[in-house]
Amino acid sequence: MFRPRMLLAPLTALIAVLALASPAAAVTAAEKLAVMSSWSQTSVTSYNAWNSARQNQGAWAAYAFDWSTDYCSSSPDNPLGFDFKLACHRHDFNYRNYKAMGQFSANKARLDSAFYEDLKRKCATYNVVVRPACTSLAWTYYQAVKAFGSVAVSAADIERARQMKESALRAAAN
């Protein structure tokens, strides 16, 4: 025999829970910028926190970060066999997300410095014999983003960057 009173207590509890539950709070711009700031510092701790988040992007879905990358853009991702891909990925992440938040210009110098520190840390993992070539390339990549990594790039800037890159690759090969 069906007894409606037996369903009354669970139904009342369910209605109470649903009434009290609120959707996940939206992430504010200030919260998003705080996370971005913590992931764009020059320290290895900042780099590791960003990389951990990169590997678990779903946990950060509410922040709507742009995780896309073209790695080192038109420069080689692995110049002379040195793997710069992950440093370039973090740099892309920082540029894209700060631009989207309208905070790029105020943070560009730090983003470029973090990129250079990432490259130097990567170079430190290579044999001491080849490390000078890696750090030389790291310096060149840093100088290129410092000079050309902006909102607008002209054809002349691209040509200057190409010439700098070729010059640096020739110097590193010698």
| CA distances from residue 79 to 62, 93, 145, 170 in whole angstroms, order as listed | 36, 21, 16, 11
Q: Of the residues 32, 90, 91, 122, which is catalytic?
A: 91
Residue type for position 89: H
The rounded distance, in Å, linking the Cα atoms of 174 and 164 is 16
What is the 8-class DSSP label of residue 125? T
The yes-or-no answer on residue 89 being catalytic is no
Scanning 28-130, the segments in alpha helix (DSSP H) are 29-38, 44-55, 85-100, 104-123
Catalytic residues: 91
